[in-house]
Structure 1
């Protein structure tokens, strides 16, 4: 067996592949855990491991579930209750170097951005140079973990509350009823203020719920059903410019604000630019974007760069199957952080046999090397027996006639710089009665001219940071419309814990927002309906809200209860304050619960 090189020539580090050969390594497949028995119990241990992210790299220190990066795929049947002991057996402190460098000027091409290169400027003694600086305190962070099963309908005690993290030697006990329809969920760390680094260190994995209606479809399975867990990373270099394999969390700095992490290296199932040999048959790929902040626009192309998207159909999204298969958009499928896509790719077409195809990122801000994964189609005849179902047993959150009496939650997403705050913010809003004066009229007041009624509605901020008073209270079984209105700034993938929701509407507008005072100069108006993409017609748990958009989603909170969270799933935004709690409790209890402000029937009782 040949010796694996652990050095990369310094003169090659500046190129788009940094001296690493693309498609060198076969795609790894995480092990599958299928709990057995009437009421199974699993122990999943977080451990410190050393793993090669590429066959020509030194080993990287990672934090990983059960010793795998990503963690094992947990597979359960619908309605089969499962208990998991998430045990913290980690050693050492945070296994990455966190550095801030000056943010590139607007319009800098991705290939020229220092954020899209390994390493960071150093003096001969190894200290940061040219405006770079270590982010203080990150290297000393201990292993403090709490696991969230993203997309799960589980009671709050099992949801992975951000403050309920545990240190090494302790376990977090969780129970998952798995009542919901078949879907591809995922699990990841959710510890308060350090989620971005814990996930970056390797703490995530897939979780699939199965059911008979799904099995009856005859979809590709066994060796032809494959997880594609995608993320981006950066790596450090030594003083000679050689890649060391050490994780580098390098971000841009604008004053006191840190721009969310995005890296130049794309990993699938823990390998940089791997390849997969496939038969000329149909395959099912369960795709999840676990990146901190990077959006992908995924497209299938041949060796000449010509589109082969016609081979791909999407059959499911975050929380389950679509009503019917949807073709891949001509310019590719956009996946925001935390979003999932259930794809069927038919490699049986005669024109692709014996050829290589590439899954690539066609987004405008893709890294200098945009390729993600290579498929090597075997040169032989396939069975040709697969037929894509015309309809799927989807269970979306659909309502032919939206009832007039339903709860509403209003959330403003405000841009960086609002009222002097460096980072974007999430404001919970309370609608004021006509003639009511807000407690702080000089700031935190936004107005919206609702196109459904032509009525101007006035809202006041009632909460902003995670530890502000809880203001959203939802009655168990309640139907709730969440309204996310962005008054500018970056796109935010908004995730609501616990609930499967349906995207109702996406409306674009031109914000007239005053950063200085923190409020609208004139009511948000002139809304234009944005057609929903086919994948938005299925059940979701994460919805992207772009700057200058109002996105409404609808969900029924009909099973679990307790205190949960919702947040932007750009992990840096989440850790920097874009996360808030909400409570789901029985109506019979709600009428006796004294609290101030908020949302939901009776939630204003006792308010001044």
Structure 2
């Protein structure tokens, strides 16, 4: 353990890892949103929170594939918003938003008046739009949100969280998140570690208010600075700050989920000396299901941006009596720059919002012999898994999305349409919303922005059961993990772009000087599986493809950095039966 050195420090690895309660419901379930006091660390006073069923994270809901479930999300919260909300006037070095406490004069007085206005979204679920948790359809205390989930999708780890318009980051920060597991026969047949050997690891970061003497009061503090999104000092796993977990000498399955507002994690398993532990961890699944085959954890670590999940197996059989740590090496904000395979990890980096890289400690039992363990790592996981490529895709439509930034510095989602050559502005000019792109020595294509704000005109109407490929280009300076509701998809292409031609102040590129890219970047194994969130690094092009099947209605896609989402980085799309679209003439796609 690391002893605290100042009033805001807490003893690391002092408390055991908590496991959220599990609910295995019948056809109907009631989940109550309620206030609770949660002990985040044994050295802290209890923390007031908003929770599902009094638990933080909420209970893990577990269902079988095809088991239709009706959930009544009952809002029973009557207490004031439980966190302080404030903003620092300027960026400081080292970044002061990581420091617990804030000058009371910098608190937002309006935050204390926030009601418990909430709507629950089952992230990754294939469900009708009326049950998806539309962001404006939040409910107040005393009301219920009724949702129906068919659960007709492959085994995976979904999660549920608040999605209220404009305050998602605050409601999730207050505690409204939980895990939701779908099981199926394909997963059953693998004999994966289960029961006590299957462990959820729900990660997030938080900050805390302090008393006049500098000691944390236990109250949550959502503190930001300038344009930077929230970054908290303390790392929590399953609702506890820097816990430890006792394990035996055998295989374990860990279901990882990043519920942070903005913090990305690059996770490594290290030993007592801080050296990376090789050949012990294997990834077997991504956001939306199992991979085709296990892939060893890279020396580069496992990167999870907000809302991403990973299904990991760890073999502790040869590690008896050892103390291992899960550590984070990602600075905040993280731009995807790699780390050397032999570079030190688990090193404090306070100048880049990583003062405490520790996440979790594993204490392996010192038994003379490993446990009898019937599990053997299979060579094949999901027989149903098939890697997509543009060449093997069924007939599909194309859309172009650009991740832009307004002259005022607000991140936006730009839906684009290709401009005919006859309508291209004159060479050498810059037109707001016009962006040119070019791959290698190929043709220059000119695109015009159709929308940027959530309330702009609805443009994207999707034919039910159709396949689509979305080309997403990040023109901005920040990572954006893009989440598309309703569907799962695969990444087909990654490429580093030269976006220097984009003029943020003018909102476009100089005509004749396009955004360019050449060779594709290899897609790492962790991003080759089925996803519902995809990381788009600054200056990167990513193509994703998926089928819009299983439901109809109006859905959303958005950046899952919740600060960006709440600032308007979210857009609607609709899915309708093909016959309806044919009669009404809805639709409209373009090539890319």
Q: State the partner residue of 1:576.
A: 567
Decide which of 464, 467, 473 is 1:485's aligned counterpart: 473
Decide which of 181, 184, 193 is 1:208's aligned counterpart: 181
What is the rounded CA distance, in whole Å, between the counterparts of 2:271 and 2:11 in structure 1?
Answer: 19
> Any stretches of 5+ residues in structure 2 without a counterpart?
333-352
Kindly state the Cα deviation for residue 402 of structure 1 after the two structures are TM-superposed. Answer: 3.9
Kindly state the Cα deviation for residue 103 of structure 1 after the two structures are TM-superposed. Answer: 3.8
Pair 1:363 & 2:346 matched: no
Helix, strand or coil for the counterpart of 1:223? helix
Pair 1:585 & 2:552 matched: no
1:485-564 equivalences in 2 (<5 Å): 485-511=473-499, 512-521=501-510, 522-564=513-555
Pair 1:374 & 2:361 matched: yes
Decide which of 11, 20, 30 is 1:21's aligned counterpart: 11
1:257-406 equivalences in 2 (<5 Å): 258-349=227-318, 352-365=319-332, 367-380=354-367, 381-382=369-370, 383-393=372-382, 395-396=384-385, 398-399=387-388, 401-402=391-392, 405-406=395-396
Q: 1:197-249: per-residue Cα shift (whole Å, max 9, x none)?
A: 00000000000000011011011001100100000000000112111000000
What is the rounded CA distance, in whole Å, between the counterparts of 1:548 and 1:166 in structure 2?
Answer: 39
What TM-score, normalized to structure 1?
Answer: 0.89
Kindly state the Cα deviation for residue 585 of structure 1 after the two structures are TM-superposed. Answer: 0.4
What is the rounded CA distance, in whole Å, between the counterparts of 2:75 and 2:9 in structure 1?
Answer: 36
Q: 1:52 to 1:518 in 2, by over 3 A?
A: same
- Equivalences, count: 560
Kindly state the Cα deviation for residue 437 of structure 1 after the two structures are TM-superposed. Answer: 5.5
Helix, strand or coil for the counterpart of 1:388? coil
Kindly state the Cα deviation for residue 441 of structure 1 after the two structures are TM-superposed. Answer: 7.8
Decide which of 230, 236, 239 is 2:203's aligned counterpart: 230
Kindly state the Cα deviation for residue 398 of structure 1 after the two structures are TM-superposed. Answer: 4.0
What is the rounded CA distance, in whole Å, between the counterparts of 2:109 and 2:529 in structure 1?
Answer: 43
Q: 1:33 to 1:98 in 2, by over 3 A?
A: same
Kindly state the Cα deviation for residue 503 of structure 1 after the two structures are TM-superposed. Answer: 0.4
Contact 1:260 1:293 in 2 (8 A): yes
Contact 1:322 1:394 in 2 (8 A): no
Contact 2:292 2:386 in 1 (8 A): no
Q: 1:198 to 1:281 in 2, by over 3 A?
A: same
What is the rounded CA distance, in whole Å, between the counterparts of 2:378 and 2:90 in structure 1?
Answer: 48
> Any stretches of 5+ residues in structure 1 without a counterpart?
1-7, 604-608
Q: State the partner residue of 1:430.
A: 417
Helix, strand or coil for the counterpart of 2:563? helix
Kindly state the Cα deviation for residue 31 of structure 1 after the two structures are TM-superposed. Answer: 0.6
Helix, strand or coil for the counterpart of 2:249? coil
Give the alignment's Cα RMSD to 1 decimal. 1.9
Pair 1:463 & 2:451 matched: yes
Contact 1:235 1:243 in 2 (8 A): yes
Helix, strand or coil for the counterpart of 1:12? coil
Contact 1:424 1:573 in 2 (8 A): yes
Contact 1:148 1:160 in 2 (8 A): yes
Q: 1:86 to 1:568 in 2, by over 3 A?
A: same
Helix, strand or coil for the counterpart of 1:310? coil
Kindly state the Cα deviation for residue 136 of structure 1 after the two structures are TM-superposed. Answer: 4.6
Kindly state the Cα deviation for residue 116 of structure 1 after the two structures are TM-superposed. Answer: 1.6
Q: State the partner residue of 1:3.
A: none
Kindly state the Cα deviation for residue 396 of structure 1 after the two structures are TM-superposed. Answer: 4.4
Kindly state the Cα deviation for residue 397 of structure 1 after the two structures are TM-superposed. Answer: 6.2
